[in-house]
Every structure is written in structure tokens, then in C-alpha cells.
């Protein structure tokens, strides 16, 4: 694979989780890494799914085995044991090796697993990253449980040291930039955001801009940053925000409000005009970052 | 100035022209990600890479010429999803399995030979220590085999009772359930031994040694009653497979721990990843070996009661594994 991930210094705090990721075609896909919170939430969801399905599974198998009678219960004992084993060890592996590369919990939070080098995600990688969960989650849990049963002080200290030691594994993702957990380190994977995003209407496409004619000076008041804030405002469509923003813009460009002028119509028209101007300038090589930019 | 001259925005024209393709790609991807890529027709499968490339180029164009932030975000997302599908495309499951059995698994185990030797040495040494300690002083026995595990097989037991445990299965447990239990338990321990390798190898070594000590203690107890040969049969019928699997799991753990401690010319992260790839294939194989061991232990051992037959099965299983892992074979690229 020729895709080479690089990690440039973050420009802004929001860019902290964005990683350059060049495809073989030479385009940067700008992957966003899953944040620690998202991943923890996904894990909790997955554990809930496992526990609930195991409870249901136990009830179902129990009922069937009971109705089959003690003599014929043997196969159901096997089914139950294997079910437990598969749920604990196989759940993550099966889902992450699938075409979506995500467990149901990850999918709900818009996350997926990907190979760090941009290559394909192999079954071995998925196996390894989930086998490492044993020391990341299972061992700390064992020590936590042992803390309750520790009899004498020495044993208590041993348990505490064990907890600290394994806790370091559990908290590992919080101490590296790429939010890698141990399994990710060993498997060469990372978890990226990949939410479904719908194609929304182009705000500049609506033909309601009639009746508004802005002078070049009026459209020269703002830059790209303000344009995108305006886009956000128009997509959110909160009446009070739109009124406030419209008022600010009218003041800045010296626009006299007509009697029947609606804020949304004014803003949409101004957005279209501003974008037209900025994109026109963009074609000539001038990207005006914000209103303070003199380009 | 052309405020009124350009009736349509160029970026809007661009979007209007390409939108159909993007939506088509989105539809195909949703179908492909739905879990059953085979539902896509051959022509649809051929189309995805083409649509992907056009989406990627559209993304570049949009970034350079369009100020519609939502459009750029949409294209980034679409191109990323398509990228994962196009470049993440894997062989179908049967082919992957065939490759795993024909090449990946034995190659991974063979490349772990150094670590495997070390783990074997630890196991043998610990067995010797366990044997020597219990032989010289039977009080040690309880330290290696907790009562729950010993199940009455302790130094106070009669020789007849000990002999009985070797040939008569526990009556209260159906064989196949027992075999399944043994498999899930052993697989859990092996995965733990492997994962612990990351903690600089030491816990893995301890876990392997623990296995050896238990076995050594058991051997000393039975040897003191002149039952060493029957015990050997009882252990070896499944033990050659199970212990080999344990040793490989330990070796895989060592490989990772070693790579983390001494990455050599690679970065630590790179070294861990390279080691992880090999160790992962070996570990997947360990689980398969433990299934075999579970069947041999739970069923084979209870049904076959002749010492020589037990030895023969154990020995041929070992020979089989050794031949499978280490016999020279053609390199697969």
C-alpha cells in the first residue's frame, strides 16, 4: 500500500484528532480518530450487548435443557459453554473482521477499526487487538474483584500493586496522541470516525435570492471562516440566532432592512453572494481566510 | 464585477453534475457494508473502484474550489468509506482459511522457533523443579496443586485410588461437556499468557512455569507409587498437543514482549506491530490446537484405557504437529 499516514502538528485544538492519510491517488482523506470518550462508550455498549445476550441465551438454553430432561441435557451443556466462550472471545473478533470493521457498539458511535498503515485490516490484526483485551480489561477486573476478598494486609498490598500495574494497561490510550490501546499498538490498528453523512442541500442553490442585490463592497466584508459560520447558522435554522446574525451583518455592510424582509431570506441571499465572490476569488488564487485577511 | 453575470455558482454546477455518481457510490457502499457483499452484482463490484476514484478526485476539486463546508465534509466521508472498501477488500473466507492453514499458521509458528525453544526450556525446567521438590519433600505438593485442582490426588491418597483416577473418568460429568469445558478454560489461559507477554515477558514465563511445576508435582507423586509410566500415558495423550499449544502461546507472548523491550532498528511501535502480526497467526492456531487437545483429553483419554495406545496417540500427535509446523515448504507471497 502506498498510503502513508503522517501526523502533523495540530493547528487548532479541534484538529487534535485529525490525521493526514494519503491515498494511493494522492488525496489526503484527513481521518478523524475516535476520541477516548466515544471509544469507552462503544465498549460499554458492547459489554451490555454481550451480557444481555448471554443472560437471554442462558435462559433459553436452560428452558430447552429442562424440557429435554436430565438425560438429554448434555448437548445443551456444550452449547452453553461454547456460547459463553464465543461471546467473550469471539464477539469483537467476528464483528471487526466483518465488512464494516466495527462492533455494534462502535457502529452506533460512528467508529471503525482501520490499519494504521492504510493497508487492509487482516484477521490476525483483529484477533491480536482483541486478545490483548485480556490484560487491558479482564486482569484489572480480576484484581478489583480480588480486592474484596483479600484477607491479610500483605495480600491487600499485592492486590493493590496488581491493580496499579494492570491499570497502567487500561489507561494506556490516554497517554498517547493517537489514542492507541495496547491491542492497537500490537495489531497495528487504530480506531477512526466514520459516521454516515448525508448529502444536504446546497444553500446557494435556492433561487429565493431574488430582490437582493449586494454591491461588491458589501460582499467584500467577510472571509471563508465567516461564510462557514453563516452556513452553520442557516443549516441550524434557529430563529433567534438568525435574527441576531442578520442584524450584525446588516450593520456591518450598511444594508437597510426593507419592510417585508425575512431574516432567513436575507441571510441565504447574502450567503450566496458572499460565496460567489469568495469562490470567484479562489479561482484566481486568493483564499481569504477571514474578515481580517487582506487577501 | 460579475456579481450578476454568473447566474449559477461554479461549485454548484460542479456538484449538480457529479451528484448522481456520488449517490450511486453511497448506495453501493451501503449495500456492500450491509454484511453481504455477494449481493452486489459483478458489474456493480466493478463500478465501485471507478466511482471511488471519481469521488476522490471530486474531493480534491471541491477542497480547492468549493466553499460549501458540508459538501467537502460529505465527500471526505464518502471517499473514506469507499477507500476502506476498495483497499480493504479482502479475499473471501474460504480462500483466507485455506491460506491460513497452508501458509500463515505454520510459517508463524516456525518463525517463532527461538521463543518456542525458550518456552519449552522453561516448561521442562519447571517440571524438573516441581518433581525434585515434591520428591524430596511431599509437603511441597499442596503448594503446586491446590486441593480443588488435586481432587483427592494428594500424598495421603492410596495407590489404588491414584491408579483409579488414571483409568476411570469422573462419573458425574458427561465426556463431551468435560471436553468443552477443558477447551474453553485452556484457551482462556493461553490467550492470557499471550497477552501478558506485553508486560515484558515475565508474567508469561511465570504462567508457563506454573504449568510445569504442577505437572512435575503430579509426576513426583505418582512416581513415588511406581505409577510414573501410566501417568505418562494419561498426560501425553492430550498433553503433547495441549502443552505444545501452551508453549506456542508463551512463545508468541515472548515475541511481543521482546519486540517492545528491544525494538532494534525499528521504532517501538513498528516493532510491536510486526511482532503482533506473527504472534496473532500463531495464537489463532493455538486455539485450534486446544480444540484438538480438548477432544483428546475429554473423550479420547476416557475411552482409551491402554497405556501404550495413549503413548502412541500422544506421540503421533506430537510428530504430526512438528511435521506440520517445521517441515520445509514453498514460500507463499
pLDDT in tens, A65-83: 888 776 677 778 788 888 8
Statement to judge: residues B114 and B171 lie in one domain: yes
In a 3-state reduction of DSSP, which class is residue A18?
strand
CB–CB of A182/A132 below 8 Å? Answer: yes
Domain boundary among B35, B65, B89: B89
Which B positions 110-169 lie with beta carbon below 8 A of chain A?
none
Tell me, yes or no, whether B290 and B152 share the same domain.
yes
Same domain, B261 and B173: yes
pLDDT in tens, B288-331: 998 888 888 877 877 888 889 999 999 999 999 999 999 887 66
Residue A122 gets the label, from left (phi > 0), alpha (psi -120 to 50) or beta, of: beta
Residues B108 and B180 in one domain: yes
CA distance B24 to B127: 64
- B53 near B46, Cβ under 8 Å? no
Provide the pLDDT confidence category of residue B56 given band limits of 50, 70 and 90.
Answer: very high
Same-domain pairing of B74 and B150: no
Say yes or no: B201 and B274 in one domain.
yes
**Which residues in chain B have Cβ-Cβ distances shorter than 8 Å to A74?**
174, 176-177
Q: Considering the domain boundaries, does residue B1 fall inside one?
A: no
Higher pLDDT, B252 or B188: B252
- Identify whether B292 is part of a domain: yes
- Grid cell for residue A239: 430563529
pTM comes to 0.81
Give me the long-range contacts of B27-33 (CB less than 8 A, separation at least 24).
Answer: B29/B78, B29/B81, B29/B82, B29/B85, B32/A99, B32/B85, B33/A99, B33/A100, B33/B81, B33/B85
- Distance (Å, whole) CA B220 – CA A78: 34
Q: Residue A120 is nearest to which of B35, B76, B88, comparing CB atoms? A: B88
Contact A275 B11 (CB under 8 A): yes
Dist CA B78 CA B329 (whole Å): 43
Q: B312 is in which domain, residue-wise?
A: 94-326
Closest to B56 (Cβ–Cβ): which among A23, A213, A227? A23
Residue A3 has pLDDT above 60, yes or no: no
Candidates B314, B88, B196; CA nearest to A96 is B88
Residues of B in contact with A202 (CB under 8 A): 12, 15, 68, 71
Terminal-residue alpha carbon distance, chain B: 62
Give me the number of domains chain B comprises. 2
- B74 and B23 share one domain: yes
Positive or negative CA dihedral for A278, A282, A288, A290?
positive
B170 in a structural domain:
yes
Which residue in chain B has the smallest CA separation from A165?
Answer: B199
B250, B258 contact by CB (below 8 A): no
Measured CA to CA in angstroms, residue A167 lies from A116, A152, A185, B45 at distances of 25, 22, 17, 46
**If you average pLDDT over each of A131-145, A195-209, B281-295, which comes out highest?**
B281-295
Residue A2: is its pLDDT beyond 80? Answer: no
| DSSP-H helix ranges across B262-306 | 268-295, 301-303
In chain B, residues with a C-beta closer than 8 Å to the C-beta of A101 are 84, 88
Q: Which residue of B has its CA nearest to A128?
A: B280
- Using CB atoms, pick whichever of B22, B37, B284 lies closest to residue A99: B37
Residue spans of the domains in chain A: they are 5-132+181-193, 133-176, 203-283
Specify whether B45 is located in the same domain as B172. Answer: no
Residue A255: HSE in the Cβ half-sphere, 13 Å Cα cutoff:
25
> Which region among A235-244, B77-86, B89-98, B138-147 has the lowest average model confidence (pLDDT)?
B89-98
Give, as one character, the DSSP assignment of residue B168: S
- Of residues B91 and B270, more confidence is placed in B270
Residues 6+ apart with CB under 8 A from B133: B140, B144, B216, B217, B220
**A75 vs chain B: nearest CA distance in angstroms?**
8
CA nearest A107 in B: which residue? B33
Which candidate, A66, A59, A107, places its Cα nearest to that of A83? A59
Average pLDDT over residues A137-146: 78
**Cβ within 8 Å of B, A 56-85:** 74-75, 77-78, 81-82, 84-85
Same domain? For B109 and B162 the reply is yes
> Band of the pLDDT at A224, cuts 50, 70, 90?
confident
Would residue B5 count as lying in a domain?
no
- C-beta atoms of A125 and B23 within 8 A: no
Residue A256 has pLDDT above 90, yes or no: no
**Do the Cβ atoms of B195 and A81 come within 8 Å?**
no
- Which residues of chain B have a CB within 8 Å of the CB of A1? 87
Strands (DSSP E) found in A228-273: none
Mutate which: A15, A23, A28, vs B, most B CBs within 10 A: A23
- The whole-angstrom separation of Cα B120 and Cα B248 is 9
A132 touches chain B (CB under 8 A): yes
Chain Cα centroid distance, residue A140: 26
Residue found by looking up cell 442462558 in the block = A58
Q: Residue A158 pLDDT more than 50?
A: yes
What is the C-alpha to C-alpha distance for residues B221 and A7, in angstroms, rounded to an integer? 60
Residue B109 included in any domain = yes
pLDDT in tens, A260-283: 888 888 888 888 888 888 888 888
- Alpha helices (H) in A1-73, listed in sequence order: 36-68
Domain boundary among B56, B89, B122: B89
Question: Does some domain include residue B333?
Answer: no
Q: Is residue B315 part of a domain?
A: yes
Flag if A199 and B22 touch (Cβ within 8 Å).
yes
Task: Residue B281: list chain A partners with CB under 8 A.
Answer: 124
User: Average of pLDDT values for B117-127?
Assistant: 95
Examine the fold and report which residue of B89, B124, B146 is the final residue of a domain before the chain moves on: B89
Amino acid at each position: 500500500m502506498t498510503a502513508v499516514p503522517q501526523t502533523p502538528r495540530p493547528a487548532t485544538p479541534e484538529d487534535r484528532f485529525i490525521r493526514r492519510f494519503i491515498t494511493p491517488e494522492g488525496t489526503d482523506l484527513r481521518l478523524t480518530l475516535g476520541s477516548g470518550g466515544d471509544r469507552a462508550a462503544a465498549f460499554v455498549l458492547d459489554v451490555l450487548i454481550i451480557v444481555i445476550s448471554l443472560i437471554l441465551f442462558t435462559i433459553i438454553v436452560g428452558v430447552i435443557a429442562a424440557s429435554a430432561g436430565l438425560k438429554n441435557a448434555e448437548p445443551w451443556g456444550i452449547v452453553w459453554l461454547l456460547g459463553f466462550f464465543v461471546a467473550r472471545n469471539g464477539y469483537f473478533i467476528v464483528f471487526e473482521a466483518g465488512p464494516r470493521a466495527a462492533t455494534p457498539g462502535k457502529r452506533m458511535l460512528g467508529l471503525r477499526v482501520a490499519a494504521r498503515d492504510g493497508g487492509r485490516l487482516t484477521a490476525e490484526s483483529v484477533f491480536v487487538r482483541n486478545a490483548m483485551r485480556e490484560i487491558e480489561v479482564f486482569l484489572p477486573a480480576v484484581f478489583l474483584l480480588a480486592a474484596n476478598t483479600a484477607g491479610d494486609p500483605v495480600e491487600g498490598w499485592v492486590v493493590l500493586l496488581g491493580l496499579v500495574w494492570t491499570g497502567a494497561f487500561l489507561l494506556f490510550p490516554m497517554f498517547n496522541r493517537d489514542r492507541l490501546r495496547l491491542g492497537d499498538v500490537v495489531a497495528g490498528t487504530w480506531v477512526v470516525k466514520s459516521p454516515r453523512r448525508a448529502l444536504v442541500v446546497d444553500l446557494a442553490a435556492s433561487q429565493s435570492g431574488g430582490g437582493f442585490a449586494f454591491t461588491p463592497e458589501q460582499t467584500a466584508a467577510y472571509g471563508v471562516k465567516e461564510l462557514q459560520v453563516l452556513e452553520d447558522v442557516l443549516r441550524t435554522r434557529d430563529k433567534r440566532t438568525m435574527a441576531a446574525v442578520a442584524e450584525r451583518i446588516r450593520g456591518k455592510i450598511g444594508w437597510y432592512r426593507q419592510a417585508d424582509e425575512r431574516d432567513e431570506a436575507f441571510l441565504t441571499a447574502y450567503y450566496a453572494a458572499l460565496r460567489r465572490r469568495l469562490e470567484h476569488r479562489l479561482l484566481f488564487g486568493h483564499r481569504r481566510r477571514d474578515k481580517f485577511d487582506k487577501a | 464585477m460579475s456579481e450578476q453575470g454568473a447566474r449559477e455558482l461554479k461549485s454548484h454546477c460542479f456538484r449538480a453534475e457529479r451528484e448522481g455518481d456520488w449517490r450511486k457510490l453511497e448506495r453501493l457502499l451501503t449495500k456492500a457494508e450491509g454484511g453481504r457483499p455477494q449481493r452486489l452484482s459483478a458489474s456493480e463490484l466493478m463500478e465501485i473502484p471507478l466511482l471511488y476514484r471519481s469521488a476522490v478526485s471530486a474531493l480534491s476539486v471541491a477542497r480547492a474550489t468549493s466553499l460549501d463546508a458540508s459538501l467537502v465534509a460529505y465527500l471526505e466521508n464518502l471517499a473514506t468509506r469507499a477507500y476502506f472498501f476498495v483497499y480493504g477488500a479482502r479475499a473471501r473466507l474460504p480462500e483466507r482459511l485455506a491460506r491460513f492453514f497452508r501458509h500463515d499458521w505454520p510459517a508463524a509458528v516456525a518463525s517463532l522457533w527461538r521463543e518456542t525453544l525458550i518456552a519449552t526450556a522453561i516448561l521442562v525446567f519447571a517440571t524438573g523443579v516441581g518433581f525434585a521438590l515434591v520428591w524430596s519433600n511431599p509437603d511441597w505438593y499442596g503448594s503446586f496443586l491446590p486441593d480443588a485442582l488435586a481432587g483427592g490426588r494428594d500424598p495421603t491418597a492410596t495407590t489404588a485410588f491414584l491408579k483409579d483416577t488414571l483409568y476411570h473418568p469422573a462419573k458425574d460429568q458427561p465426556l463431551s461437556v468435560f471436553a468443552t469445558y477443558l477447551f474453553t478454560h485452556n484457551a482462556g489461559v493461553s490467550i492470557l499468557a499471550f497477552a501478558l507477554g506485553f508486560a515484558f515477558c515475565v508474567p508469561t514465563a511465570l504462567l508457563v512455569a506454573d504449568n510445569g511445576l504442577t505437572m512435575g508435582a503430579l509426576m513426583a507423586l505418582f512416581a513415588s507409587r511406581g505409577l510414573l509410566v501410566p501417568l505418562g500415558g494419561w498426560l501425553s495423550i492430550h498433553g503433547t498437543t495441549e502443552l505444545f499449544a501452551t508453549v506456542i502461546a508463551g512463545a508468541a507472548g515472548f515475541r511481543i514482549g521482546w519486540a517492545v523491550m528491544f525494538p532494534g532498528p525499528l521504532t517501538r511501535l513498528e516493532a510491536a506491530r510486526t511482532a503482533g502480526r506473527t504472534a496473532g497467526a500463531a495464537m489463532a492456531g493455538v486455539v485450534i490446537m486446544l480444540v484438538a487437545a480438548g477432544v483428546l483429553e475429554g473423550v479420547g483419554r476416557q475411552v482409551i484405557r491402554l497405556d501404550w495406545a495413549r503413548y502412541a496417540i500422544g506421540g503421533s500427535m506430537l510428530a504430526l504437529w512438528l511435521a506440520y509446523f517445521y517441515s520445509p515448504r514453498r514460500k507463499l507471497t
